[in-house]
Amino acid sequence: MAIRSLKGGATLHRWEDMPRERVNDMLDRRLITGDRMMLAHVYLKKGCVVPKHSHENEQLTYILEGALHFRLGEDQKEEFVLSAGEVLHIPSNLPHEATALEDTLDIDVFSPPRADWLNKTDSYLRK
């Protein structure tokens, strides 16, 4: 059962039933999307680099396992490590980059949903 429809338009999802997309050799993801938000499991192998980018979408990143080294801002001068149990809020249009310091599972929440992830035009990740 990947998706189960419930009363009032609600839907029930199970992560293990959601398709796992191979974005590149170092990054996979699973997506659940509503009308105005998106929830993603992002699986990063140690050494995976998410290149500097920005987007209109507000983002919450919650690390379940592992750790990511983040660089924020146009100049990338704000640096820190986000570890398991920590959450980062990234406002709209803030440039950011991340490197997986170990195998990492994070949950990303986006509002609105990432159209580039849904239509697979996120070329900065597909290199």
Q: Which domain holds residue 66?
A: 20-118
CB atoms within 10 A of CB 104: 24
- 101 in a structural domain: yes
Q: What's the token pair of residue 22? A: 């191979």
Sequence-separated (6 or more) residues with CB below 8 Å from residue 93 = 54, 55, 56
Cα(60)–Cα(108) distance, rounded to whole angstroms?
6
pLDDT in tens, 21-47: 999 999 999 999 999 999 999 999 999
Q: Is residue 77 part of a domain?
A: yes
Q: Does 36 map to a domain?
A: yes
The pTM of the full predicted model, rounded to 2 decimals, is 0.94
Residue 1 lies in a domain: no
pLDDT at 2: 65
Contact 18, 12 (CB under 8 A): no
Q: Is residue 14 part of a domain?
A: no
Query: Number of folded domains in the chain?
Result: 1
Question: Any idea what the CATH number is for the domain that residue 52 is in?
Answer: 2.60.120.10
